[in-house]
Chain A
Amino acid sequence: MTTLTPTPQSWLRRRRGLLAMVALLIAFPFLVSIIVDGQGLGAVIANDQGNARFLQGLAIEIFILAIYALSYDLILGVTGLLSFGHAMFFAVGAYTFGIMLKTHEMQWVAALVVVLIAAILQAFLFGVVLVRVKGIAFALVTLGLASVFWIVIQSSDLQQWAGAEIGLQGVRAPVWFLDTTNERFAFYLVTMTLMILCYVLYLRIIDSPSGKVFHAIRENEDRALMLGYNTFWFKLLVLVIASVTASLGGVLHTMHQPIVTPNIAGLGFTVTALLIILIGGVGTITGALVGAAVYRLLQFYLDRWFGAASELLIGLAYVVLVLYLPYGIVGTWRAKAAKRKEGWERLRTLLSPGERPTS
């Protein structure tokens, strides 16, 4: 609220919780190695088998999901654009990077540049759609575009590139710090850093003047228009940011997984993003991180305990969440922390969609 530029120190102080989390995340593999595996600190660096390695893998998946869900929260939660094609943002990053490395044997930096260009291009594609349609029609068109992508990468015509229904496999890590098999701890640190960077960046974006316009678009686009903002450019900006972020998640996914299956382009994976931000709290940004962790752990343990029935339980949990915890963990937490009634009221106004989806 002050006009003074915040010094780095004060910024750090305000982000104490974040720093503590980073420290904990760095220490996490070592702790697991010592306590659970009964091995030394060196075991983590030496990439030994054991719980430490396995749990790092799980954590990496959470980080990737968090990056992916963050970008969806920016589109849906913050700006209120109902896109059902978000999985495509992720999958384009994953497939482009994989194909560039494997089939075209590119340098990894060059491949990243190609991914970046692809991400921006697809954001523009969605942006063009936005010019014409809004609300539910936008949801349908994005669903349609993503489905087309999903169908195309599965088709046998593209077998040699995308691997058809099986998916993309045999992509080798181009540099050591992206090598999840042999340098797990390094890759762990890389994904974690990227996630934290995205998170901090998103927080800043939302606090910035543009971020205020994003909110305004969700609340009432006509009013934002009347205030003189050309909302289209702001929406395009949101799409570009989200697309680049999600593609980054896709790139990391390609590095982490032995096979990139076409599932990550399907509607199911968009629903995953939706579920994550619902768990965490729609529009809260922080909720994407919390949601990703809860979602992945829940999925992991439910699968372990209930086997095939776990998916059914996740579906039930999703329905219960939508009905009874619409503000998610972070949203509910914040609402409780703030002065009781007032907080609820504000949140409710923030969350109630300003327009009916038909318009």
Chain B
Amino acid sequence: MTTDTKQPEKVSKQRQRADWLLENRARVSVLAALAFLFIVALAGLESKDWFPTIMQGLSVGALTFLVASGLSLIFGLMDVLSLAHGEIFMLGAYVGWTVYTRFDTTVDATVPLLLVIAPFTLMPLWQRMARWLRTLGRKWHFGIWILGLGVVYAAWYVIFAAGDADAIEGEVSGAGAGVTIIVSLLFVAAAYGLYRKWRSNDGSVESVKEAMSLTSWSLLALGGGAAITAMTKFPLVIWDAEDFAKSPSNFAVQVDLGTLAPLPADSFGWPALVAFVVLLLGGSLIALALSSLQTAIGDVAPLTRKHWTGFVAMVGLAIVLHLTKASLNEWVFGLSTTWRFFLAIAVATGLGFAVGAFIEVVLIRPLYDRPIYQLMITLGVGFILIELVREVWGRPEFTMARPAAFNGTGEGCPGQGLGGFFSGCSTVEVFGGRLRVYNEGFVVLVGALVLIGVTLLLKKTRIGMVIRAGVQDPEMVEALGINVRRVFTLVFAMGSGLAALGGVLAAPSIGLSSGMGATFLLGAIVALAIGGLTSFPGAAAGALLVGLLQQIIIRFGQTGINLPFLDEPFKPSPTVVPAAAILLMVVILLVLPSGLLGRSER
């Protein structure tokens, strides 16, 4: 009998080996075909063209890689294909642009954000409070629900209905009336629903849980309402995207020369102290709501000095920023654009990281048992981010001036040879071709650094080890006593941070538009699919391939391809360039469903 069970295993092992060979044959031939095509393509170019073409390919590849790397880590580890990733890239670009060109607005926006986030440092406090809430009677819960609804209603009224005053009479106020009716109806319906829930609360575990979750949502509404209202009433430097759109070049020149004067702070809205308190309160309520939504049983960590230090530091920073913003702005606007650019990189990357962590914890985590819905929700998040950007920054496309260190002209420019990259010129001549130092030098350099950095992280650190193990079998990692969810959050945040970094880097070379995210997401997905969905080196290789392919086709679009059966050279139009990369993906996926470097699944 035992031999019976052994035999099929042996057969399947042989088959596996045969399959493996077969698969690798396909892989090797695809690689060979690609290499051949590239050589033929490069050989078809003039000698002064091929080096710039490759470097431009590397540049686009590096940007694509910054999006694709996070995407591949996230997909590998948690099986979530984050379709919001491109929009985080876009968000990075816009935030970076704002820090770079409008530091004053950045400072003003940072203060309320810091205040809302600060209470999150006191999580144990909120957890303890949430536990206490659980012991409250029904009447208290009901009171909180009603209060929550009321505050949201009031906040909405303050923001929308009262804001109608300066809109065009008639039409808008008619719409306002419609909205008021609907919101009021919703309010009544919700109150009735809550009342019924309250009536049916019989003290069983289920119903307490339900009451608790309703309370948490009410608290969330309360906190959110307070925070949003206070933010709209916070004294911000108002600056209109339209101003920029009217004369982008003028704007850019002013930025370069450092002559862009900070606008005077508008003194509308609430007194600063009131706004401060309301923001802190709103943040606290949100934190409390989120911690009472968590149903984990585990123990609450003690509230230590560390937590309070963090809290005080954040609030203190907010206050200091607020008080010193005039001189701070002056100082930053006096800095060279290069320094401001690095500041922009840091801020945007950090924000991308935070946004990623938030998305994972709040939106992705509740859906781990419904993978398709995870995919759908990332789509939704992307959609929201695009609309948010359009709301805040407007629809006109932006350009971003290159930082001074990569923008030199005049004496001794363009730089010569490889050393020319460090000459401070905007362009450099290498092997007879002309390159832009920023695009083909700096961007590629950062891309390479990130590749090396992440590879080292994955190979050399414990967290990297956990990630690699988690890609293969998250359940087993959890069984070893490692909190995999936390690793998920970290990886999602890290991937988002890298995407945002890509966005800032891209801004000076390709400009900003609300469509840039979709373009790069598509490129990154193609790269991922080509490289093998879960393979990190695969993502790098795929991104490189995508970049090179696109640039080569663009180059051929200029010179034309001499096809033997055509009289005139065939010139592919630039708009169809992305199509080529996608077709490459389709072909590669069909030939190799697990990509070039991916592990073949079954």
List the interface of chain A (C-beta within 8 A of B). Answer: 82, 129, 132-133, 136-137, 139-141, 143-145, 147-148, 151-152, 154-157, 267, 271, 274, 278, 301, 304-305, 308-309, 311-312, 314-316, 318-319, 322-323, 326, 351-353, 356-359
Contact = CB atoms under 8 A, between A and B. Distances in A.
Contact of A136 (B81, B366, B377, B381): B81
B541 to A, nearest CB: 17
Interface string B375-398: 111011101100110110000000
Contacts of B525: 140, 143
A144 B367 contact: no
B529 A140 contact: yes
Given A323-B366, A323-B367, A132 B590 contact: yes
A358 B372 CA distance: 11
A101 B395 CA distance: 35
Contacts of B367: 322-323
Given A133-B589, A148-B582, A156-B573, A305 B384 contact: no
Contacts of B579: 147-148, 151-152
A26 B593 CA distance: 50
22 contacts: A132-B590, A132-B593, A137-B589, A139-B375, A141-B529, A144-B589, A147-B522, A148-B579, A148-B586, A151-B576, A154-B575, A157-B573, A271-B383, A274-B376, A274-B379, A305-B176, A312-B388, A318-B380, A323-B367, A356-B79, A357-B79, A357-B375
A268 B602 CA distance: 33
B578 A315 contact: no
Most B CB within 10 A of own CB, among A267, A315, A359: A315
Nearest to B390: A308
Contacts of B369: 352
A141 B371 contact: no
B453 to A, nearest CB: 27
A87 to B, nearest CB: 13
B585 interface: yes
Nearest to A317: B380
A305 B179 contact: yes
B371 A315 contact: no
Contacts, number: 126
B391 A309 contact: yes
B178 interface: yes
B601 interface: yes
A322 B377 contact: yes
Nearest to A147: B582
Interface in B554-588: 573, 575-576, 578-579, 582-583, 585-586
Given A148-B579, A155-B573, A353-B372, A315 B383 contact: yes
B363 interface: yes
Contact of A319 (B175, B381, B518, B576): B381
Contact of B79 (A137, A312, A318, A358): A358
Contacts of B390: 308, 311
A153 to B, nearest CB: 10
Contacts of A358: 79, 533, 601
A168 to B, nearest CB: 17
Contacts of B363: 319, 323
Nearest to A302: B179
B370 interface: yes
Nearest to A321: B380
A44 B81 CA distance: 50
A226 to B, nearest CB: 16
B518 A267 contact: yes
Contacts of B380: 315, 318-319, 322
B589 A357 contact: no
Contacts of A278: 376
B579 to A, nearest CB: 4
Contacts of A155: 573, 575-576
Contact of B377 (A144, A145, A154, A319): A319
Contacts of B602: 359
B452 to A, nearest CB: 28
A278 B372 CA distance: 12
B373 interface: yes
A82 to B, nearest CB: 6
6 pairs of A and B residues whose beta carbons are closest in the complex: A312-B387, A315-B384, A315-B383, A318-B380, A319-B380, A151-B579
A141 B373 CA distance: 19
Contacts of A152: 576, 579
B576 A132 contact: no
Contacts of A133: 589-590, 593
Contacts of B372: 82, 353, 357
A305 B384 CA distance: 18
Contact of A157 (B391, B522, B576): B576
B114 interface: no
Contacts of B178: 301, 305
Interface string B520-531: 001001100100
Contacts of A271: 379, 383
A315 B387 contact: yes
A156 B388 CA distance: 31
Contact of B533 (A132, A137, A154, A353): A137
A309 to B, nearest CB: 6
Nearest to A322: B377
A152 to B, nearest CB: 6
Contacts of B391: 308-309, 312
Contacts of A145: 582, 586
A132 B589 contact: yes
B365 to A, nearest CB: 11
B79 A141 contact: no
A60 B373 CA distance: 30
A72 to B, nearest CB: 13
B376 A322 contact: yes
A91 to B, nearest CB: 15
A151 B376 contact: no
B175 A304 contact: yes
A161 B369 CA distance: 46
B370 A326 contact: yes
B375 A352 contact: no
Given A155-B573, A318-B383, A358-B601, 13 more contacts: A129-B590, A137-B533, A141-B585, A305-B178, A305-B179, A308-B391, A312-B387, A315-B380, A319-B363, A323-B377, A357-B375, A358-B533, A359-B602
